[in-house]
Amino acid sequence: MTMRNAAGVIFFAIVAVFFIFSILSLHPFGDFGEEGDKYYLEPKMDDYIIDNAQNETGANNAVTSVVFDYRGFDTLGEATVLFTAVAGVILIFRRLGK
Amino acid sequence: MAFYVPYIAVVALILIGLYAVVFKRNLIKIVIGITFIECGVNLFLITLGYREKSIAPIYTSSPGGIMSLPVPQALTLTSIVIGVAVLALMLSLVVHIYRHYKTLDARKIIGGDEE
Amino acid sequence: MSGMSKIVKTITSIAFPFVMIYGLYVILHGHLTPGGGFQGGAVVASACAMIVVAFGSIWTMKKIKENQLSILESIGAIGFIVFAFLGLIILFDNSGIFFKNVFANSVYLFGQSVEYASTTANINTAGTLPLMNIAVGLKVIAGLFVIVLVMAYASNKIKERGD
């Protein structure tokens, strides 16, 4: 019991220290930085989508054009996961509810 | 330091969830912990996609200005629905486990130590 | 036994159509306003869950079976895949692309084009996106509602049997 708890505490502490040090290396919230900064980011793909989504897909909502057009395969996999989960729930509860 | 507050919230959510998963013995509490971790990940994705003083990437009646990144928002949308589906499946399995073993204690179920 | 008190049932009967219409609005305007198939489907499914809570799962199960909801969800999934395959079936320049938006900027259904940074809402745009929104919305409505309904019904039956 105590062995297991000690192992849990050590694992928890390692993960906590890892997270706290890793957030310090991220860019500050909402600030993508200037050129030359350590955390400088240039989201070229997102800027392309924001600029061209209206011409290419005709949708005013860029998020919808990403979900169903640029990244349709993600949505296909998500639909498969939802279908599988519903099938699993029905499979489990059908025998219980008889 | 104030710029890091959303990241601190993300880390707090993930650590609370991890605490429940590692130290709790009740299966329902473990499921709640997994949901907490998922909320932390969703908040992290949304946080990464925010630009300062940006608006939502929707052009209908938009006031103009720079827009936040659409791809993390789309991935979070997918992730939320997958989270609901996985939560329903986990809870059904917990109900099934309770009916079979008559207990929700994870360590009794796997036949581990009883102290 | 089945369901809650008369007050809850009356309030649910009044509120249900409004929640339903709002959810369908969110689904149909997914390419113009914040929202889409997932969010609107979740709203409509929560309206159906409200029915389950107020009237009881046994009463609801008499009205609609989980097999019918499964068929509805399968229709949504098949519709989504069919709209994705339209890009392979309808060829432009002798090349087909899976998930290509074939109706966008054409003269057909939902085919009007939009200028960059135009802020007016025109529902007759975006090609296959509204169709996919409707398919995914149907799928999410049926999926979430069948999860809630089957869980409530089975736990009710288990409580009745007393084990």
pLDDT at B37: 93
Highest mean pLDDT among A25-39, C23-37, C90-104: C23-37
- pLDDT tens digits, C55-69: 888 888 888 887 888
**Per-chain mean pLDDT for chain B:** 85
pLDDT given at position C47? 92
- Which letter does DSSP use for residue A27 in this model? P
- pLDDT of B25 > 50? The answer is yes
In tens, the pLDDT along A15-61 reads 889 988 888 877 778 777 777 777 777 888 888 888 888 887 778 88
pLDDT score, position C15: 92
Residue C91, number of CB atoms within 10 A of its CB: 12
Write B92-95 long-range contacts (CB < 8 A, 24+). B92/A88, B92/A89, B92/A92, B92/A93, B92/C151, B93/A92, B94/B27, B94/B28, B94/B31, B95/A92, B95/A93, B95/A96, B95/C151, B95/C154, B95/C155
Which residue has better confidence, A58 or A1?
Answer: A58
pLDDT at C94 over 70: no
Question: Domain spans of chain C?
Answer: 6-161
Residue C1 pLDDT class (50, 70, 90 cuts) = very low
Q: Among A27-41, C10-24, C71-85, which stretch is predicted with the lowest mean pLDDT?
A: A27-41
pLDDT at C73 over 50: yes
Among B60, B81, B88, the residue with its CB nearest the CB of C33 is B60
Contacts of B99 in chain A (CB under 8 A): 96
Q: Is the pLDDT of residue B115 over 60?
A: no
SS (H, E, C) B63-106: CCCCECCHHHHHHHHHHHHHHHHHHHHHHHHHHHHHHHHCCCEH
- Percentage with pLDDT > 90 across chain C: 10
What CATH fold (topology level) applies to the domain B2-109?
A: Helix Hairpins (1.10.287)
Q: Indicate the domain borders of chain B.
A: 2-109
Mean pLDDT, residues B80-95 taken together: 88
The band of B2, judged by pLDDT with boundaries at 50, 70 and 90, is low
Model confidence at C96, in pLDDT bands (50, 70, 90)? Answer: confident
Q: C147 — contact with chain A (CB < 8 Å)? A: yes
Looking at per-residue pLDDT, the higher value among B102 and C75 belongs to C75
Q: Give the one of B11, B75, B78 whose C-beta lies nearest to A20's C-beta.
A: B11
| Residue A94 confidence (pLDDT) | 77
Question: Least CB-CB distance to B60: which of C32, C42, C140?
Answer: C32
User: By C-alpha distance, which of C61, C60, C50, C68 is closest to C142?
Assistant: C68
C140 has a chain B CB within 8 A of its CB: yes
* pLDDT tens per residue across span B29-68: 999 999 999 999 999 988 888 888 888 888 887 787 888 8
Interval C44-73 mean pLDDT: 86
**Chain B hits for A43, Cβ within 8 Å:** 69
In chain B, the percentage of residues whose pLDDT exceeds 90 is: 18
The pLDDT > 70 percentage for chain A reads: 97
What's the pLDDT score for residue C16? Answer: 92
pLDDT at C161: 78
CA distances from C52 to B92, B96, C16, C46, C159 (A): 18, 22, 12, 10, 17
What local confidence, expressed as pLDDT, does residue B114 receive?
A: 54
8 Å CB contact of B91 and C120: no
Minimum mean pLDDT range among A63-67, A91-95, B83-87 = A91-95
Mean per-residue pLDDT for C18-32?
A: 89
Higher pLDDT, C136 or C101: C136
- Orientation of helix B5-23 relative to helix B27-48, angle to 10°: 160
* pLDDT range class, residue C163, cuts 50, 70, 90: low
Task: Please give the pLDDT value at position B35.
Answer: 93
Average pLDDT over residues B4-25: 88
Orientation of helix A72-96 relative to helix C129-161, angle to 10°:
20
Q: Which chain C residues contact residue A76 at CB under 8 A? A: 80-81, 84, 99
Three-state DSSP state, B55: strand
C-beta atoms of A89 and C147 within 8 A: yes
Q: Which chains touch B (3 or more CB pairs under 8 A)?
A: A, C
Q: What is the overall mean pLDDT for chain A? A: 82
Most confident range, picked from A35-49, B92-106, C133-147 = C133-147
| Mutation target vs B (from A32, A48, A57, A66; most B CBs, 10 A cutoff) | A66
Q: What is the pLDDT of residue B53?
A: 83
